A and B are shown apart, each in its own frame.
Chain A
């Protein structure tokens, strides 16, 4: 039995590639980190760090710039933007970075950078940035819109050789840790991750936004966000992208060439639970944007408290106690046990008889949940699972509106664990195809 640490002994302090912060919650490089005033206000709310809105040649933005995905009346399940990097002068940003660092020496201030692909230009901005006293640099190789048309952002991140080259240039001049921020707009994130690693990056940030077109206004027929009757593809973020980010995080953690790299996790993080998932899959800290854009800096208070409570409940004192604990579970499909089986069990006492499990299973899964037969006394009973037909897909449990009503229960198949790979080997060694692992349903 683990002795649960008292609240005072929980230590959220965080170190990603040598960049230290009092907690793992950083604001990602985006509108919430546009200026010194904002970032200092965010630190006062409790944020542990901030990645400054990307520095470079100041740009001119368009209006409008954002598009949101509503889902069943919930705003901002996803957020798409066509805003570019900072539109403020380099001098202003550098002066404010220096000021913030002076006032908040213990918080992480990371400078995001994006300039044209010339060695001396990169050297120049790296030197100017680290002269401010900033704690680290983040190379923006991810921005998928606008800047990529000018040969920067994702245009670099999508070509491993470029990413490696520029990382090398930066490392030639850098005296502080360098994170490379990766774009998800590639077929396989591991190539860019390896390139950044090879170039000498101290850590990786992922994911940047995903190429997206948020939608069409059905009244005006305008594609959103509308810029004078035209639009452009943008970068997608928010709750909807979290699973994509988690997958890429786990891919990098499973890749021998990059498994050792410190990672700052990004993508749809809005709560302490989201953050804990990133940490369990190997991130050293996390960055947040959409949720802060939606609700403001104040959300960090619950992220901190919630994570502390969760750690105390689990008996963990520091982030290191659980960082990466889930990484090794992620395997190739071929290494999964075909003889493991769960079935759905419906608790008739909490079931509210909505029959959503029935229709989902009937039309969308494996036709093994039947509505209860009508009763003479008029009572309506809970639907019934045919456990011999149930394949354990989880669909019913996922759509059940009652928390805990449907549980996926492990049952003993009476067979020793065997993966598809092992089965292939057994077949190659002459086993009969009829002696297969797992269950093959009758239809």
Chain B
């Protein structure tokens, strides 16, 4: 394996079986545990950890996948400090929390390596659902619907499934094999994947509604937002998602990267782009951000990772123009200072007069966020929320069309959008869709309509 290949191997090592056993035995097995409450999919974390401790890895993976069908991906990309591990009671003692993410990876890796599955399709209930997109929200919904006996077809524009998990997260955080293994588990439930099929172009939503009893919209935000700078069309200017997609879909040694790379933006995708550029061989990578490090929008662990990777930060600089003749030669910026907080509480950057300066670079990656495919949005013809998000009930996934349900970032793609959040939305929307169709069950069905019931007990006397 050459250097670049090695650079794109997963950074976080797996727990060895001994490490996993020791860590699992550190778990207190809390009752009504705060880690569960902190998980958007409410995985019964103490239970799956106890199963690791007893050597019941299949059972452990079952507990995880039952609540979160993308358990292997989430084990790697969840911001665990802000979720389960942040809830761990050990934090109250300022002791290291249980490494829930790595334990979850231990159990789900076992599942993937074993070739087994924990999903089982229910008996055919005669109904059929189309999922638009095969990202995490659609995959989660598809698993649940297959368990309840629906025929499910996923319409995917790309040649492979998994959406952002497969194409949009750098492989040294989430190997593409893991995402594809989870897609494979969904395929094994009997769900049909129609790849290279873009809804709105190759097939219309109207046709889907004719062919299927209901439609689930599980797409994300795939269109890059533009910072609106002169010079964006210069060779050497890239958008972050296509750049990352290349590193996951093409041989790494065929990719080109600049010697001096600038990344505009400081969100989690910007960190991905910056670290990927560095690992591809860039001599210097600098993130340019209008605010200071106090306002940095990426997760703390991402910021730390970027610093470890040698990524530099140009704080308080507002990009104005990409300069160069025939190719990128630099980024012209104006210095900023922070003024009053904006509506979201972040201090607004104000430009300092006469402070223009240029950072030399031969590659600029734009990472200022993503938006929906507006053509697809208008094709759907559903009510919107705000200018460019699909209006859907976050609890039931219901949209303005009685037979269309939705999850995924297109519903409410916020800055803190996470895989686990859209998985949870997909599961809730599947339940909403199922209820709207009268919760049909095939003959001999054993899977309950809502298999996850949280038993609350209280002392009442």
Chain A interface residues toward B at CB < 8 A? 72-73, 352-356, 358-359, 362, 367-371, 380, 386, 389, 401-402
- Cβ contacts under 8 Å, B31 to chain A: 354-356, 358-359, 371
Complex contact A380–B25 (CB within 8 A): no
Complex contact A352–B90 (CB within 8 A): yes
Complex contact B32–A73 (CB within 8 A): no
Q: Is B78 an interface residue (CB 8 A)?
A: no
- Cβ contacts under 8 Å, A389 to chain B: 461
Minimum C-beta distance from B16 to chain A (A): 13
Complex contact B53–A355 (CB within 8 A): no
Among A352, A358, A359, A367, contact of B461 (Cβ-Cβ < 8 Å) = A367
Q: Is B112 an interface residue (CB 8 A)?
A: no
- Cβ contacts under 8 Å, B32 to chain A: 355, 358, 371
Complex contact B89–A353 (CB within 8 A): yes
Complex contact A402–B93 (CB within 8 A): yes
- Cβ contacts under 8 Å, A73 to chain B: 21-22, 25, 53
Residue total for B at the interface (Cβ-Cβ under 8 A): 19
Minimum C-beta distance from A35 to chain B (A): 34
Alpha-carbon distance between A367 and B33 when the two chains are bound, in angstroms: 19
Among B21, B22, B28, B34, contact of A380 (Cβ-Cβ < 8 Å) = B34
Minimum C-beta distance from A134 to chain B (A): 45
Complex contact B25–A72 (CB within 8 A): yes
A362-B457, A371-B458 known; A355+B25 contact, CB < 8 A: no
Q: Is B357 an interface residue (CB 8 A)?
A: no
Alpha-carbon distance between A402 and B29 when the two chains are bound, in angstroms: 14
Alpha-carbon distance between A386 and B459 when the two chains are bound, in angstroms: 10
Complex contact B92–A367 (CB within 8 A): no
Alpha-carbon distance between A355 and B378 when the two chains are bound, in angstroms: 51
Q: Is B437 an interface residue (CB 8 A)?
A: no
Alpha-carbon distance between A355 and B29 when the two chains are bound, in angstroms: 9
Nearest B residue (CB) for A373: B458
Complex contact B457–A354 (CB within 8 A): no
Nearest B residue (CB) for A369: B459
Complex contact A354–B30 (CB within 8 A): yes
Nearest B residue (CB) for A367: B459
Nearest A residue (CB) for B22: A73
Alpha-carbon distance between A367 and B460 when the two chains are bound, in angstroms: 9
Nearest B residue (CB) for A401: B28
6 interchain pairs, CB-CB under 8 A: A73-B22, A352-B93, A354-B89, A355-B32, A359-B31, A367-B461
Among B34, B53, B93, contact of A72 (Cβ-Cβ < 8 Å) = B53
Alpha-carbon distance between A368 and B458 when the two chains are bound, in angstroms: 11
Quick one: which of B23-49 are within 8 Å of A by CB?
25, 28-34
Complex contact B25–A356 (CB within 8 A): no
- Cβ contacts under 8 Å, A356 to chain B: 28-31
- Cβ contacts under 8 Å, B22 to chain A: 73
Alpha-carbon distance between A413 and B384 when the two chains are bound, in angstroms: 68
- Cβ contacts under 8 Å, A362 to chain B: 457, 459
Complex contact A353–B459 (CB within 8 A): no
Known contacts A352-B92, A367-B461; 9 additional CB pairs below 8 A are A73-B22, A73-B25, A353-B30, A356-B29, A358-B32, A359-B31, A369-B459, A371-B459, A389-B461
Query: How would residues 443 to 459 of chain B score, 1 for a CB under 8 Å from any chain A CB and 0 otherwise?
Result: 00000000000000111
Alpha-carbon distance between A352 and B31 when the two chains are bound, in angstroms: 12
Chain B interface residues toward A at CB < 8 A? 21-22, 25, 28-34, 53, 89-90, 92-93, 457-459, 461
- Cβ contacts under 8 Å, A367 to chain B: 459, 461
Alpha-carbon distance between A72 and B53 when the two chains are bound, in angstroms: 7
Minimum C-beta distance from A264 to chain B (A): 35
Complex contact B92–A370 (CB within 8 A): no
Alpha-carbon distance between A355 and B28 when the two chains are bound, in angstroms: 10
- Cβ contacts under 8 Å, B28 to chain A: 354, 356, 401
- Cβ contacts under 8 Å, B53 to chain A: 72-73
Minimum C-beta distance from A166 to chain B (A): 47
- Cβ contacts under 8 Å, B33 to chain A: 354-355
Minimum C-beta distance from B31 to chain A (A): 4
Q: Lowest 8 CB-CB distances: which A-B pairs, in order?
A: A370-B459, A359-B31, A355-B31, A352-B89, A354-B30, A352-B92, A73-B25, A354-B89
Minimum C-beta distance from A297 to chain B (A): 27
Alpha-carbon distance between A4 and B118 when the two chains are bound, in angstroms: 65
Alpha-carbon distance between A367 and B459 when the two chains are bound, in angstroms: 7
Alpha-carbon distance between A359 and B22 when the two chains are bound, in angstroms: 24
- Cβ contacts under 8 Å, A354 to chain B: 28, 30-31, 33, 89
Minimum C-beta distance from A365 to chain B (A): 12
Nearest A residue (CB) for B23: A73
Nearest A residue (CB) for B91: A352
Alpha-carbon distance between A355 and B25 when the two chains are bound, in angstroms: 18
Minimum C-beta distance from B202 to chain A (A): 47
Nearest B residue (CB) for A218: B55
Alpha-carbon distance between A30 and B29 when the two chains are bound, in angstroms: 39
- Cβ contacts under 8 Å, B92 to chain A: 352-353
Minimum C-beta distance from B42 to chain A (A): 16
Alpha-carbon distance between A380 and B423 when the two chains are bound, in angstroms: 27
Nearest B residue (CB) for A443: B461
**B25, B32, B53, B93: which has the most chain A beta carbons within 10 Å?**
B32
- Cβ contacts under 8 Å, B458 to chain A: 370-371
Alpha-carbon distance between A72 and B457 when the two chains are bound, in angstroms: 27
- Cβ contacts under 8 Å, B21 to chain A: 73
Minimum C-beta distance from A358 to chain B (A): 6
Minimum C-beta distance from A117 to chain B (A): 47
Nearest B residue (CB) for A72: B25
- Cβ contacts under 8 Å, A368 to chain B: 459
Nearest B residue (CB) for A74: B25
Alpha-carbon distance between A368 and B461 when the two chains are bound, in angstroms: 9
Nearest A residue (CB) for B54: A72
**B29, B89, B90, B457: which has the most chain A beta carbons within 10 Å?**
B89
Alpha-carbon distance between A407 and B33 when the two chains are bound, in angstroms: 23
Nearest A residue (CB) for B37: A380
Nearest B residue (CB) for A359: B31
**B25, B53, B92: which has the most chain A beta carbons within 10 Å?**
B92
Alpha-carbon distance between A371 and B459 when the two chains are bound, in angstroms: 8
- Cβ contacts under 8 Å, A352 to chain B: 89-90, 92-93
Minimum C-beta distance from A282 to chain B (A): 36
Nearest A residue (CB) for B461: A367
Minimum C-beta distance from A211 to chain B (A): 27
Minimum C-beta distance from B276 to chain A (A): 38
Alpha-carbon distance between A17 and B29 when the two chains are bound, in angstroms: 49
- Cβ contacts under 8 Å, A353 to chain B: 30, 34, 89, 92
Minimum C-beta distance from A406 to chain B (A): 14
Nearest A residue (CB) for B460: A370
Nearest B residue (CB) for A71: B25
Alpha-carbon distance between A402 and B30 when the two chains are bound, in angstroms: 13
- Cβ contacts under 8 Å, A401 to chain B: 28
Nearest A residue (CB) for B88: A352
Alpha-carbon distance between A389 and B457 when the two chains are bound, in angstroms: 18
A72-B25, A72-B53 known; A355+B459 contact, CB < 8 A: no
Nearest B residue (CB) for A361: B459
Alpha-carbon distance between A389 and B33 when the two chains are bound, in angstroms: 25
Alpha-carbon distance between A355 and B34 when the two chains are bound, in angstroms: 10
Alpha-carbon distance between A402 and B93 when the two chains are bound, in angstroms: 9
**A73, A354, A356, A359: which has the most chain B beta carbons within 10 Å?**
A354
Alpha-carbon distance between A380 and B459 when the two chains are bound, in angstroms: 17
- Cβ contacts under 8 Å, A359 to chain B: 31
Alpha-carbon distance between A338 and B170 when the two chains are bound, in angstroms: 68
- Cβ contacts under 8 Å, B457 to chain A: 362
Minimum C-beta distance from B346 to chain A (A): 23
Minimum C-beta distance from B21 to chain A (A): 5
Alpha-carbon distance between A355 and B459 when the two chains are bound, in angstroms: 13
- Cβ contacts under 8 Å, B30 to chain A: 353-356
Nearest B residue (CB) for A380: B34
